Amino acid sequence: MSDKQKATFGGGCFWCVEAVVQRLKGIKDVVSGYSGGQTKNPTYREICSGTTGHAEVIQVTFDSEVISYEDLITIFMTSHDPTTLNRQGADRGTQYRSIILYHDEDQKEVAERVLKGLKDSFTDPIVTEIVPLDTFYPAENYHQNYYNNNSYAGYCRVVISPKIKKLNQMYADRLREEVT
């Protein structure tokens, strides 16, 4: 039996977060998209302008009997830099902020507990937002499964591949055998 749940979070470019999370056991689906802003049905071009208020995020469907929400948030938090405000690496703007959009009060409590537990792991303060999910807008089709479809591209090789290498080193026991 499966206990499917959803989680929504972002830590910079959604291609990076998607590629990391897709490799975990218990993940059923990952959709890149936008959330946390005020513009209805935003496009990627609008998101890039930084004026929509939305962040690039992923929405994950996962089997909580295989991977807990707490473990998912812990892996997410250690796969990006949650101490940089509105940026990850060379990506700058509010659309690249570190954010957890909780679906219910239990998720909020878990996220707060995980961040509190990780605060001593970082030199600088964690700036990850924890806010309620309002609306999630799926990104355009060409953003979905981006790394798996474009692993040869420069951005993927330079930015995403090192994140996957780090994931493999830190969480080898949490990885699925193959990614689809």
Confidence band for 34, pLDDT divided at 50, 70 and 90: very high
Give me the domain span that covers residue 30: 4-174
Specify if 179 maps to a domain.
no
Strands 129-132 and 98-102: parallel
Q: What CA–CA distance (Å, rounded) separates 34 from 54?
A: 6
Question: Please, is 47 exposed, middle or buried when counting C-beta atoms within 10 Å of its C-beta (0-12, 13-18, 19+)?
Answer: buried
Specify if 180 maps to a domain.
no
For residue 3, the model assigns a pLDDT of 86
Q: Answer for the pair 13, 159: CB distance below 8 angstroms, yes or no.
A: yes
Q: Answer for the pair 9, 59: CB distance below 8 angstroms, yes or no.
A: no
For residue 180, the model assigns a pLDDT of 56
Question: How many other β-carbons are positioned within 10 Å of the β-carbon of residue 5?
Answer: 21
Indicate the DSSP class of residue 156: I
Specify if 39 maps to a domain.
yes
Question: Please, is 87 exposed, middle or buried when counting C-beta atoms within 10 Å of its C-beta (0-12, 13-18, 19+)?
Answer: middle
> Looking at the annotation, which residues are catalytic?
13
Specify if 65 maps to a domain.
yes
Specify if 157 maps to a domain.
yes
Q: What CA–CA distance (Å, rounded) separates 66 from 36?
A: 28
Q: What CA–CA distance (Å, rounded) separates 27 from 176?
A: 9
Query: If you search the block for the tokens 């990391």, which residue do you land on?
Result: 20
Q: What CA–CA distance (Å, rounded) separates 118 from 115?
A: 5
Provide CB contacts within 8 A for 32, sequence distance 6+: 14, 15, 18, 56, 57, 58, 138, 139, 143, 144, 146
What is the number of alpha carbons within 13 Å of residue 92 lying toward its C-beta? 1
Amino acid code (one letter) for 143: H
Query: 19 vs 179, which has greater pLDDT?
Result: 19
Read off the CATH number of the domain in which 169 is found: 3.30.1060.10
Average pLDDT over residues 148-155: 95
Specify if 163 maps to a domain.
yes
For residue 144, the model assigns a pLDDT of 98
Q: Is the pLDDT of residue 1 over 60?
A: no
For residue 90, the model assigns a pLDDT of 87
Overall domain count for the chain: 1
Q: Is the pLDDT of residue 171 over 70?
A: yes
Specify if 33 maps to a domain.
yes
Specify if 145 maps to a domain.
yes
pLDDT, tens digit, 9 for 90 and up, residues 36-60: 999 999 999 999 999 999 999 999 9
